[in-house]
Amino acid sequence: MVDDDPDIRKIFGKVISHLGYSSFAFESGTSFVRAIAKDKLSFDLVLMDYRMPEMNGIEAAKIIQRYRPDMKIVLITAFDFLEKEALANGLLYVRKPVSMEELSNILKHGIEVPALVLGSN
């Protein structure tokens, strides 16, 4: 999970663990890019907020894709106007707020599908 809000990171971390998955948290796109580039970390699926200081989620994803082109990145945002940009950049897209059921579906199926667009109605 990449999000600048510590409460969001904590909540998502608990839910992800409850669903039986391992979770790592990063407080910014910049710190996550550093971890991928310098520490050579890799993840099956990344949940990334769009709006963060220094570097937004799409900017971070573009850099990450250079190092790990097969890594699935899910952009999580309340901004519906970003859906086309996210998908055009090879990202999966989910609208906030994200329910536990949606998060479970993302974790179960996000790695398997080439495109994923979920949103709360």
Q: Where are the domains of the chain?
A: 6-118
CA atoms within 13 A on the CB side of 56: 10
- Is residue 43 within 8 A of residue 72, CB to CB? The reply is no
Query: What average pLDDT does this structure show over 104-113?
Result: 72
CATH topology of domain 6-118: Rossmann fold (3.40.50)
Query: What average pLDDT does this structure show over 62-86?
Result: 91
pLDDT grade for 30, boundaries at 50, 70 and 90: very high
Query: What average pLDDT does this structure show over 28-53?
Result: 91
More confident position, 65 or 116: 65
Report pLDDT for 119: 42
- Taking the alpha carbons of 60, 19, 42, 113 in that order, is the dihedral positive or negative? negative
